[in-house]
Chain A
Amino acid sequence: MPPEPAPALDMPRGGPRAARWDRLFETDKEEYIDRPDSPAACRRSLRGLDRFQRLTLGYRTCARLTAAAFGPAPDPRVLELGAGCGRLSYGILRRHPTALVTASDVNPRVVEALRAGPLGRHPRAGCAVLDATSIDAPAGAYDVAVMAMSLHHLPPAGVAALLREGTRVARTLLLVDGWRHPLCLGAVPLMFLTGGPAQAHDGVISLRKVYGAAAVRALAGMCGAPVHVDTRFALPGYLVATATRAPHAPPAVAPAAAPSPARARRPRLRTRK
Chain B
Amino acid sequence: MPTRTPLSPPPPAATTAASPATTAVADLSETDGPRAAVGRFRSPLTRMLLGGDGLTTTLLEAWAGSRLRVGGVTVDLVRAEHTPHGAAALLSAAAAPGADLLVRHSTLTDARGRLWSWNQVVAAPAGDPALRRCLTDPAAPLGPALRAAGADLGRTVVRAGVTPWPAGPPGPRPAAAFRTYRLWCGDEVLAAVREVFNPAHVPAELREPV
Contacts and interface: CB of A to CB of B under 8 A. Distances in A.
B5 to A, nearest CB: 27
A140 interface: yes
Interface stretch (B14-22, B71-79, B153-161): B71-79
A109 B129 CA distance: 46
B126 A256 contact: yes
Contact of B105 (A101, A168, A256): A168
Interface in B65-97: 72-79, 81-85, 94, 96-97
A138 B173 contact: no
Interface in B108-128: 115, 118, 124-126
B78 A248 contact: no
Nearest to B75: A250
Interface in A153-180: 157, 161, 164, 168
A263 to B, nearest CB: 6
Interface in A179-209: none
B6 interface: no
A74 to B, nearest CB: 15
B99 A225 contact: no
Contact of B85 (A134, A157, A259): A134
Contacts of B196: 136
Contacts, number: 110
Interface stretch (A57-65, A121-129, A143-151): A121-129
A73 interface: no
Interface centre among B77, B170, B173 (most CB of A within 10 A): B170
Nearest to A247: B138
Q: Tell me what chain B mostly uses at the interface: helix, strand, loop, or mixed.
A: mixed
A24 interface: no
Interface residues of B, number: 42
Interface centre among A77, A136, A137, A260 (most CB of B within 10 A): A136
Contact of A100 (B75, B79, B105, B170): B170
A118 interface: no
A245 B84 CA distance: 19
Interface in A62-120: 77, 100-102
Interface string A216-234: 0000000111000000000
B166 A102 contact: no
Nearest to B170: A126
B81 A3 contact: yes
Contacts of A7: 98
A235 interface: no
A36 interface: no
Contacts of B170: 77, 100-102, 124-126
